Structure 1
Amino acid sequence: MSSDSCELLCVDLPQAEKVRARVPGDDDVRPAADRARALADPTRLRIARALQIGGELCVCDLAWVCSSSQNLVSHHARQLRTAGLTASRRDGKLVMYRLTDAGHALLSLLLPDPGLEPAVREG
């Protein structure tokens, strides 16, 4: 038997039911799981950190900062946007990305940096 499992079944039913009533279902936690999954990739995590430090950056700048191709950065930035962690806007021929409030919050939990002074956020 695994040392991670109980050796006998002894459910504290009142306590377990109280907890069970407050635990959200799969559909309720799916958006949070998607956001967490989006930052599970090292390239996306680096892009998010660059946006946290630099504020709003175009894909060209992100590619240079992350030492990656524009196509790769564009792909990953789009995935961060789909997860609700970044927002984008077109500025002429440039696509500008910035972290959303959710992106800032989650990134701060994953990569805390007390010396980091985040860029001023708009809107």
Structure 2
Amino acid sequence: MSSDSCDLLCLDLPQAEAVRSVVPADGDVRPAAERARALADPTRLRIARALQVGGELCVCDLAWVCSAAQNLVSHHVRQLRAAGLAASRRDGKLVMYRLTDTGRALLSLLLPDPDSEPAVSGG
């Protein structure tokens, strides 16, 4: 027997039913799972941090900040946008990206706000 499961069936039916009644169905949590999955990639997490700090940036800026190829960054910001974590707008020939409110909220749970971190002193 595995140490992570009960050795006998010990269902507390009233409690289990009470909990079951408030646990959402798979389809109801799918958007939240997709948003979480969008930030599960280290490159997307770094891009999201850059947008958090920079406010609004184009792919060229994001590529330079993250030391990544523009086509890779473009691919990742599309995924952030598809998950509802980033938004874009066209500014002439540029496409500018920014985090959505949902993106900022989810990112703040994963990484502390850079403004609240102590300043790094030289030394």
TM-score by length of 2: 0.92
Corresponding residue for 1:72?
Answer: 72
Is there any run of 5+ residues in structure 2 with no aligned partner, and where? 118-123
Unaligned runs of 5+ in 1: 118-123
State the 1:114 CA deviation. Answer: 6.0
Instruction: Write out aligned runs for 1:17-36 (5 A).
Output: 17-36=17-36
What does residue 85 of structure 1 align with? 85
Please list, as runs of the form range in 1=range in 2, the aligned pairs for 1:75-114 lying within 5 A after superposition: 75-113=75-113
The structure showing larger relative contact order (alpha-carbon pairs under 8 Å, at least 6 residues apart) is 1
Percent same amino acid among aligned pairs?
85
Match of 1:60 in 2: 60
Measure, in 2, the Cα distance between the counterparts of 1:73 and 1:103. Answer: 17
Residues 14-56 of structure 1, C-alpha deviations (whole Å, 9 max, x = no match): 0000000000000000000000000011100000000000101
TM-score by length of 1: 0.92
Asked if the contact 1:55/1:99 (under 8 Å) is kept, the reply is yes
Alpha-carbon RMSD across the aligned residues, in angstroms, is 1.2
Offset of residue 115 of structure 1: 3.5
> What is the aligned length?
117
Q: Work out the CA distance in 2 between the residues paired with 1:32 and 1:52.
A: 20
